[in-house]
Amino acid sequence: MPTDQELKDLVRGKYEEIALQDKETNASSCCGASCCSTEVYNIMSEDYSQLEGYNADADLGLGCGLPTQFANIRPGDVVVDLGSGAGNDAFIARAETGETGKVIGIDFTDAMIAKARRNAEARGFHNVEFRQGDIEQMPLSNDVADVVVSNCVLNLVPNKNGVFAEIFRVLKPGGHFSISDVVLSGTLPASLKEVAEMYAGCVSGASQQSDYLALISANGFRNVKVQQEKAINIPEDILRKYLTPEQLSAFKSEKTGILSITVYAEKPAPAAACCGPDCCS
Q: Is residue 179 part of a domain?
A: yes
**Residue 220 in domain:** yes
Judged by phi (left if over 0) then psi (alpha if -120 to 50, else beta), residue 32 lies in left
Q: What is the pLDDT of residue 171?
A: 98
User: Is residue 216 one of the residues assigned to a domain?
Assistant: yes
Give me the CATH number covering residue 246: 3.40.50.150
**What is residue 279's predicted lDDT score, i.e. its pLDDT?**
55
**Is residue 276 a part of any domain in this protein?**
no
pLDDT tens string 220-266: 999 999 999 988 777 777 788 888 888 888 888 877 788 889 999 99
281 located within any domain: no
In this prediction, residue 223 carries a pLDDT of 98
Task: State pTM to two decimals.
Answer: 0.81
Has residue 245 been placed in a domain?
A: yes
**Pick from 30, 22, 110: which is nearest to 59 by CA?**
22
- Which pLDDT score is estimated for 147? 98
Domain span at residue 208 reads 4-266
pLDDT at 198: 63
Percent of the chain having pLDDT more than 90?
46
pLDDT lower than 70: segments of the chain:
1-2, 6-7, 9-11, 13-63, 194-202, 204, 272-281
Q: Which of 213, 197, 223, 272 is nearest to 40 (CA)?
A: 197
Q: How many domains does the chain have?
A: 1
Residue 274: inside a domain, yes or no?
A: no
